[in-house]
Amino acid sequence: MYGWIWRHLPGNAWVKALVSTLLVLAVVYVLFQYVFPWAEPLLPFNDVTVDNQ
Amino acid sequence: MRVIVRTVSELCVTVGSLIVLFVVYVLFWTGVRADTVMRDQIDELHRQWSRTAAGGHAAGGPSAAAAGPRTVPYVSGRPFAIMYIPRLGFTWNKPVLQGTETGTLKKGLGHYAGTARLGQTGNFAVAGHRRTYGDPFKDFPRLRPGDAVVLTDGSTWFTYRIDKGPYKTVPADVEVIDPVPRKSGYTRPGRYLTLTTCDPEWGHSHRLIVWAHLDSTQPVEAGKPRALRR
C-alpha cells in the first residue's frame, strides 16, 4: 500500500518525501478534526451524569 | 506470499499509528482544546457581566435593579456562572454551562437542566469531566466536608460548604440530584449543591457525588468571599 503510493507520487525522491509528509499531515488533521471527535464520545470517559442525558 | 506479509504488516503499522494518535488526542489534545474553550467561556461571561453592569448604571432605575440578572433564564449550552473550588487549586476556576449534553460538557461544567437555579431553594446540580477535556474534576476524591465551593453569576458570590462526600454510587441513581437528596443526610428543603463526576477515573461504572449547602452570599461589590482570599 505505502509502496504503491510512493511509486505513484510524482518527481524525484525529495519531492516524493515532501508530498508524502503533506499527505501524512492531512490525514492527521482529518483524524483530529473529524474522526476522533466522533469516536471519542463512544468511549466511557464522557459519562459523568447520573441520568445519562 | 511476500505481498500478503507486506500488506498485513502495513496494516499493523497503520492500526498502531492510529491507536497512538488517538491516545495523544484523548490525553493531550482534548485538554488543549478544552482549556482554550473554557477560557473563552469565562471571558465571554466577564464581557457579558461588565456590559450588564454598565447597562444597569446607565439605566439607573429601580426597575433595572429589580429585574436583575438573576431572573434571566439559563440558555441551554450557554455559560452563566463561574465555579471556584480552592481545594482543587487556588487558580482552579471553570465555567458552568446550562445542560449536560456531551457537547456542553466539552466546554465546561454542566448544570443539570431541571434542577434548581444557583442559590435558590432546591438542589443546584452540576456535572463535570473527571478525565479528558481539561480534567476539571480530576482531584474530585480530595474534596472533604467543610471545603468551600464558590460560584458567581456576575452579581452575587455564593459560597457553598461541602457536607458529605465523595459518595460513590451507580449511574442510575438519579436520586442524588433530588431537591432533598435522601442519602445526603439532608432532611429539610434547603439551598443545596450537588457535584457529580465519573468513577473510576477512566471508567463509567460508578459516579462520585458531593453535597454542599449554601453557607453565605454576598454581592460582588463587597469583594471576593473569604474562602477565595489567600
pLDDT value for B62: 42
Q: Which domain holds residue A26?
A: 2-41
pLDDT value for B57: 52
Fold entry, domain B2-228 = Sortase; Chain: A; (2.40.260)
Q: Of A29-33, B65-69, B147-151, B158-162, give the lowest mean pLDDT range.
A: B65-69
What's the rounded Cα separation, in Å, for the pair A48 and A42? Answer: 13
pLDDT band at B56 (very low <50, low <70, confident <90, very high): low
For range B38-59, the mean pLDDT: 81
Residue pair B201/B158 in contact (Cβ under 8 Å)? The answer is no
* A52 lies in some domain: no
pLDDT band at B125 (very low <50, low <70, confident <90, very high): very high
Q: Which residues pair with B16 in a beta bridge?
A: none
DSSP codes, B31-74 = HHHHHHHHHHHHHHHHHHHHHHHHHHHHH--HHHHHHTGGGSPP
The domain total for chain A is: 1
Contacts of A41 in chain B (CB under 8 A): 102
The more confidently predicted of residues B204 and B197 is B197
The more confidently predicted of residues A48 and B26 is B26
pLDDT above 60 (res B61): no
Kindly list the domain boundaries of chain B, sorted by start residue.
Answer: 2-228
What's the rounded Cα separation, in Å, for the pair B14 and B132? Answer: 24
* A46 lies in some domain: no
pLDDT value for B121: 94
* A18 lies in some domain: yes
Q: What is the pLDDT of residues B203-213, one digit of tens each?
A: 888 999 999 99
- Mean pLDDT for chain B overall: 89
* A16 lies in some domain: yes
Contacts of B29 in chain A (CB under 8 A): 32, 36
Q: Does the complex come out with an ipTM higher than 0.90?
A: no
Measured CB to CB, residues of chain B less than 8 Å from chain A are 6-7, 10, 18, 21-22, 25-26, 29-30, 99-102, 105, 110, 112-113, 127-132, 137, 169, 171-174, 176-177, 196-198, 202-204, 207, 209
Do the Cβ atoms of A48 and B137 come within 8 Å? yes
Q: What is the pLDDT of residues B3-19, one digit of tens each?
A: 899 999 999 999 999 99
pLDDT value for B60: 41
The answer to whether A45 contacts chain B (CB < 8 Å) is yes
pLDDT above 60 (res B218): yes
The answer to whether A33 contacts chain B (CB < 8 Å) is no
Percentage of chain A exceeding pLDDT 70: 92
DSSP codes, chain A = -HHHHHHHS-SSHHHHHHHHHHHHHHHHHHIIIIIHHHHGGGSGGG---SS--
Question: Which of A31, A36, A50 to probe by mutation at the B interface, max B CB count within 10 Å?
Answer: A50
Residues of B with a known catalytic role: 129, 198, 207
pLDDT value for A52: 61
* A35 lies in some domain: yes
The answer to whether A10 contacts chain B (CB < 8 Å) is no
